[in-house]
Structure 1
Amino acid sequence: MADIEPYENALDAIPGAHPYPRTSRYHDAEIGIHRQADGTEVRYAKPRLLPPLDERQGPEAHPHTVGAGERPDLLAQRYFGDPAQWWQIADANPVLDPRELTDEAGRVIGIPSLGGLPRGDRRV
């Protein structure tokens, strides 16, 4: 996430500035408000609706053959430099449970671009 300006990172640290940091899968989710019978407001993130798979992966999706012992968070660290971005990989592939991405060695999954081309075989 080196492309984010320092002041934007600082805003993420201010309580109440935004309910989710810019790196969260829910950052762009619409926030709903539910009023309970006593008038108390409960805020919640409305469901994220994903675009069709072709649009999610985009033309720069990078195929990755899953190796034994790999996990979505380890792949996110490898390709994006941030294990918390595992959800980017999950969103780019047709699975209900992110563990399905790496539960079978030899499976080919798509690694989406994150601000450009994937970082390839970067290991940290």
Structure 2
Amino acid sequence: MADIEPYENALDAIPGAHPYPRSSRYHDAEIGVHRQADGTEVRYVKRRLLPPLDQLDLLDDETRPHTVSSGDRPDLLAQRYFGDPAQWWQIADANPVLDPRELTDEAGKVIEVPLPGGRGERRV
């Protein structure tokens, strides 16, 4: 725990500092503060919700289709399309799946891959 304290103190010292890098799916998530009975503040990331699937309208100019091949994985696709395997969540957000493994579980399936910088979000 002692290793974490300087990091937390540094964040608290910078007004508006966010603990997640811009490339993280949690970067834009709201930071909440819970006050414990002893007055200690505990910071946490509030839930990141996507719009209900039935209200989503994916715009063609924001994505490109990808036909899943045997051996594809969300992280490998993110490396191919974005140059960063940690950006798999952008592909997951652009497709109606609950489990990211569903994206590549079936060869021949066509999934949507957002354009770089599109943050993988769907518009309502």
TM-score w.r.t. the length of structure 1 is 0.73
Could you say which residue in structure 1 is the equivalent of 2:117?
A: 115
Q: By how many angstroms is 1:59 displaced?
A: 2.6
CA distance in 2, matches of 1:100, 1:59: 24
CA distance in 2, matches of 1:39, 1:89: 41
Gaps of 5+ in 1: 1-14, 117-124
Could you say which residue in structure 2 is the equivalent of 1:10?
A: none
Correspondent of 2:94 among 84, 92, 95: 92
Give SS of 1:59's match. Answer: helix
Give SS of 2:78's match. Answer: helix
Could you say which residue in structure 2 is the equivalent of 1:54?
A: 57
2:56 maps to amino acid: L
Give SS of 1:84's match. Answer: helix
1:35 maps to amino acid: R
Instruction: Indicate conservation of the 8 Å contact 1:65/1:108, yes or no.
Output: yes
Could you say which residue in structure 2 is the equivalent of 1:44?
A: 44
**1:71-107 deviations in Å (ceiling 9; x for gaps):** 1000000001111110000011000111111111111
TM-score w.r.t. the length of structure 2 is 0.73
Gaps of 5+ in 2: 1-9, 12-16, 119-124
Instruction: Indicate conservation of the 8 Å contact 1:53/1:92, yes or no.
Output: no
The equivalences for 1:1-124 within 5 A come to 16=11, 17-51=17-51, 52-55=55-58, 59-115=61-117
Q: By how many angstroms is 1:58 displaced?
A: 5.4
Instruction: Indicate conservation of the 8 Å contact 1:53/1:94, yes or no.
Output: no
CA distance in 1, matches of 2:34, 2:20: 18
2:114 maps to amino acid: P
Instruction: Indicate conservation of the 8 Å contact 1:66/1:102, yes or no.
Output: yes
2:57 maps to amino acid: D
